Structure 1
Amino acid sequence: MNKIVANLTLIFSLLVNTSFSQEKPESLFTSSVLTPVKSFTSGIEGPGVDKNGVLYAVNFSKEGTIGMVTPDGSASLFIELPAGSIGNGIRFNKKGDMFIADYTKHNILKVNMKTKAISVYAHEPGMAQPNDIAIDDNGRLYASDPDWKARTGKIWTIDKNGNVNLLETGMSTTNGIEVSPDNRTLYVTHARQVLAYNLSKGKISNKRILYEFADFGMDGMRCDVEGNLYVTRPGKGTVVKLSPQGTVIREITLIGKKPSNIAFGGKDGRTVYVTMQDQGNIESFRADLPGREWRMSTR
């Protein structure tokens, strides 16, 4: 009898262990469709995630709007921007305020998330267009400013009082922009290069090339908590993960071909959202680490 019980115990143990060993690990870096195709216009950009995990992107259904997306992919209108304004990059500060690069009116707009009131946080006539924006832990904003017609670009900073200062000029068309987790490096894309600058109290120095691609362009980018950069590559249909030292760690293949920008969110900050211009929608995939800005906004 004891032998039978022992054998049954052994069989049960083997079955349990086999069951656990066959459990599939979480699927990382595999993109899937989040929102329906053409739910946004081809000008879809942003994106940004608030402290409650709600995702926002510009140009929902029509130009000049901001759409909101729930974790299950349900999209709806959040706000309409003032007449003539069209948004591009979106960021949130620690207080939960939304900032939008309004490229047609040369503004940075601020949105009170409780009342949905929209105000002009900063205005700079010298901008060709504020394109993408980044934010550091102290609430300073940084804006890329490409002039697509002249093929030139600038970088601006906006302090917590809305004062605008020029950081860099004489560049090629600047586009994506991001701050490192330690707030000591500012990253900017222009041409096919990812540039890195030393960053200190809103000032930059020691300009250098972090990485240069041989083909295709780049658009928006975000850092994870360890400083790895996720860079969107329109035309190629991928997101490249670069180390802080400028080494390609991996390249994530998307479903669409024209990713414009990227953000981290979800319940643990490890869901990556990518806005797709050719599909007019948002794709998402799981990453191994949370996003730097997600951690900043949820502390």
Structure 2
Amino acid sequence: MSIETETQVGAFEKIASGLYLEGLAVDHDRGAIWYSDVIAGGIHGVMRDGSTRSFNAGRMWTGGIMMNADGSVLSSGPGGIMWNNPDTGKSGWLIHEIDGQAINGINEMMPDGTGGIYFGTNDIEKVITGETTRPTALYRLTVERQLIRLADGIGFTNGIMLSPDRTRFYCNDTFVCTWAFDVGPDLSLSNKRVFLDKIDVDGMALDAQGNAWITGFRSSHLTRVRPDGTLLEPVQTPAGAITQLRFGGADMRDIYFNSVPADGGDGLKDGVLPTRHDSVLYKGRSEVPGMRIDPARFDLG
């Protein structure tokens, strides 16, 4: 189907499927939606006209996707962050080492508002074997590719968001809660505190009013939280559980989210890989517009 098809509030349409869909990005310039399948591998795109494109076919465990200003698609996962330009076919590594050591894994990414990105690490080695993961950290990679360590001791970094005024930063700690941080003038993070006390927080997006929309790998609804922590009415969906969501469309009221079976996240945690293609990318419609996620501005050569 064409992703430009009008969808009504409360209605949901399936636009793609796979084994376990995770990373998600709206490509406003191409009118495309890019998503990852962490088990089947690869980055896949549903284009404006309904056609599809794919690359990185052999790369599993890509948890995050976002755009760069030159049209390249950034994708996280084992070894660090890759870039692929779907138009030229060129690709490379944005970052593949931390402190001179090979990167175990990187999960979600978020623009820092100055051309660089924030990102969180994850313990891919333990995820693959179904063992308890080791603590992870948050970093910022400046547009000049200076790497800055910002926060330690997070159990499993997942969905991250930066408020439009760059004063507040959110990070899902998948099996613990959603954390909030204050953001300094130098984009550093401080004053870590619980924002949402929920033990299955996964992906995240912000709407234009600054409310956080948070997914859960055991939750079929989208949890919505005001900046002051007040819970809003959740958005119910036909999903078993939801890994990630993004806003898109000309008016930023389209919502796209990856769903998995209700027990899919717990199975993955225990090292049980799905074998059925019943993970679905849905398109829905929001009553309020979402916050646009602008591309990073790295010079990829």
TM-score calculated relative to the size of structure 1: 0.78
CA positional deviation for 1:164: 2.6
Matched AA of 2:119: A
Does 2:91 correspond to 1:91? no
1:211 and 2:186 aligned? no
Q: Distance in 1 between matches of 2:56 and 2:156?
A: 28
In 2, Cα distance between equivalents of 1:126 and 1:256: 36
Compared CA separation, residues 234 and 86, structure 1 to 2 (3 A): closer
Among candidates 251, 259, 277, match of residue 234 of structure 2: 251
Question: Does residue 282 of structure 1 match 2:281?
Answer: yes
Aligned to 1:77: 53
Matches within 5 A, 1:100-111: 100-101=75-76, 103-105=77-79, 107-111=80-84
Letter in 2 for 1:137: G
From the CA coordinates, give the structure whose radius of gyration is larger. Answer: 1
Provide the C-alpha distance between the structure 2 equivalents of 1:165 and 1:226, rounded to a whole number of angstroms.
30
Per-residue deviation, residues 117-137 of structure 1 (Å, max 9, x unmatched): 111011134644201111122
Among 82, 85, 94, which residue is 1:121 paired with? 94
- Tell me the TM-score normalised to structure 2 length: 0.78
> Which blocks of at least 5 consecutive residues in structure 2 are unaligned?
1-6, 262-277, 296-301
Q: Aligned pair in 2 of structure 1 residues 177, 270: CA closer, same or farther (>3 Å)?
A: same
- In 2, Cα distance between equivalents of 1:71 and 1:272: 15
Q: Aligned with 1:268: secondary structure?
A: coil
Specify the code of the residue in structure 2 equivalent to 1:104.
P
Deviation, 1:75, is 5.5
Using the alignment, how far apart are the partners of 1:48 and 1:252 within structure 2?
Answer: 20
How far apart are 1:80 and its partner, in Å?
Answer: 2.5
**The residue matched to 1:233 in structure 2 has which SS?**
coil
What runs of 5+ residues in structure 1 fail to find an aligned partner?
1-25
Partner of 2:292, secondary structure, is: helix
Aligned residue-pair number: 260
Q: Percent identical across equivalent pairs?
A: 23
Which residue does the alignment assign to 1:9?
none
1:49 maps to amino acid: V
Question: How far is the alpha carbon of 1:71 from its aligned partner?
Answer: 5.2
| Counterpart position of 1:133 | 109
Distance 1:129 1:252 in 2: 31
